Amino acid sequence: MSCERQLKGAKITGVGYYVPEKILTNADLEKIVDTSDKWIVERSGIRERHISSDDQAASDLAYEASLKALEKSGVKAEELDQIIVGTATSDMLFPATACLLQNMLGAKKAAAYDLTAACSGFIFGVSIADSMISSGKAEKILVVGVELLSRITDYTDRATCVLFGDGAGAAVIESCSPQEGILSTFIKTDGEYTDLLYLPGGGSRNPLTEESIKKGEQYIHMKGSELFKYAVKAMVQAAREALGSVGLGPEDVDFLIPHQANIRIIQGVRKRLKLKKEQVVINIDRMGNTSTASIPIALGELEESNIIKKGNLVLLVAFGGGLTWGSILFRK
């Protein structure tokens, strides 16, 4: 009798996204800080971003995106085995936003937990879901990327406040035959560069005090141009790893969905992978950088556009603070 484990496949069966109604344009930002529409568009590719209302929290955005993903997949919340939420702007430090979401959805059966991998959170979440499903530990997992970066953005700092937006994206991952769906995943971290993108205050190292708030430690600190150098290299590596591990190359890819941090990073990745413009999904102009939500939002938009067809090869590639980076390769 063989005691070999039979690996199953895992497949994205429904994607949903939600962005708040309020839009902050470059013209709005020109009134707040010393910047210009021209600088922002040329240096980042961003024209506008969505900003949450005061009464919205991560679980609210995640809930809206999750409802849509569940509807698309035809899976009922009660059927979910797990809920994984990637976020750095959870409702509270604990309980996990995933626990709040579990209750909102009525997903009674699901084990629910958050993970923090900055802008790579959704990719890390899908990678975990893929492992859980392929090893037979779960059948149906909801993965959410949600971020309210406006809550931790200093709107007096022109170097960061023009970049970020709020939003959520969700995907239902289900078991399938090993030949279908997710073909490979890749995740990677380099903790040597934590100082390039971080939130100094509010954790156990540096709890918020009147003094730390005066210093602005409740806000994102970013060394943008240094991060930029790593971003292109890391994303190209992640793309090649996911493809190479299953004997494929960039020439096989139909669509690349990169994390939307900067149009120049996206173009750099596209050129190095020798992809055509129309193969790369871009929404940074309308969304800004929504961190871990950016890839599932872009995937949701691609699905809605109907240009993606069954059998297409899709590559998701992220890079973010930590540093963290990773990729998911799947067959639609």
The DSSP letter of residue 8 is P
Neighbours of 199 (CB within 10 A): 18
Active-site residue 259, yes or no? yes
Choose the binding region for ligand COA from 20-28, 205-213, 261-269, 277-285 (rule: CB under 6 A).
Answer: 261-269
Residue 58 token pair: 């991560």
Tell me which stretch binds ligand COA (CB under 6 A): 37-45, 66-74, 85-93, 183-191: 37-45
Q: Which of residues 298-317 bind ligand COA (CB under 6 A)?
A: none
Contacting residue, 117, 231, 253, 299, with ligand COA by CB under 6 A? 231
Contact status, residue 237 vs residue 187, Cβ threshold 8 Å: no
Known active-site residue 99: no
Residue with tokens 């499903």, as numbered in its chain: 133
Closest-approach residue to ligand COA (CB): 224
Q: Work out how close the CB of 213 gets to ligand COA at its nearest, in angstroms, rounded to a whole number.
A: 23
Candidates 50, 161, 259, 283; catalytic one: 259
Of 67, 85, 64, residue with least CA distance to 77: 67
Decide: is 320 part of the binding site for ligand COA (CB under 6 A): yes
Q: 134 vs 289, which CB is nearer to ligand COA?
A: 289
Q: Does 43 help bind ligand COA (rule: CB under 6 A)?
A: yes
Question: Near ligand COA by CB under 6 A, which window of 58-66, 140-148, 155-163, 299-307?
Answer: 155-163
Helix, strand, or coil (residue 20): coil
Whether the link from the prior residue into 323 is cis, omega within 30° of 0, is yes
Which tokens hold the place of 147? 């971020």
Residues in the chain: 332
Q: Does 158 bind ligand COA (CB under 6 A)?
A: yes
User: What does the DSSP 8-state code read for residue 82?
Assistant: E
What is the spatial distance between Cα 186 and Cα 163, in angstroms, rounded to a whole number? 26
Rule CB under 6 A: choose which of 225, 278, 305, 306 binds ligand COA.
225
Least separation, in Å, of the C-beta of 179 and ligand COA?
34
Chosen residue from 113, 155, 193, 228 binding ligand COA by CB under 6 A: 228
Q: List the one residue from 134, 262, 292, 327 that touches ligand COA (CB under 6 A).
A: 262
Give the binding range for ligand COA (CB under 6 A) out of 81-89, 147-155, 220-228, 324-332.
Answer: 220-228
| Residue type (1 letter), 160 | T
What type of residue is 232?
A: V
The DSSP letter of residue 32 is T
Site for ligand COA in 186-205 (CB under 6 A): 197
User: Distance between CA atoms of 221 and 85, rounded to whole angstroms?
Assistant: 23
Is 119 an annotated catalytic residue? yes
**Residues 147-178 as b or e (16 or more Cβ within 10 Å = b):** bbbbbbbeeeebebbbbbbbbbbbbbbbbbee
> Could you say which of 26, 50, 99, 119 is catalytic?
119
Contact between 289 and ligand COA by CB under 6 A: the answer reads: yes
Q: What stretches of 177-286 adopt beta strand conformation (E)? A: 181-189, 197-198, 221-222, 255-258
What residue type is 16 in one-letter code?
Answer: G
List C-alpha distances in Å: 295 to 84, 182, 218, 319: 15, 16, 26, 11
**According to CB under 6 A, which one of 15, 58, 133, 227 is a site residue for ligand COA?**
227
In the stretch 124-153, what mask flags binding to ligand COA with x, by CB under 6 A?
Answer: ------------------------------
Residue 195 C-beta: closest distance to ligand COA, Å: 13
Active site (catalytic) residues? 119, 259, 289
List interacting residues with ligand COA (CB under 6 A). Answer: 35, 39-40, 43-44, 119, 158-159, 162, 197, 224-225, 227-228, 231, 261-262, 265, 289, 291, 319-320
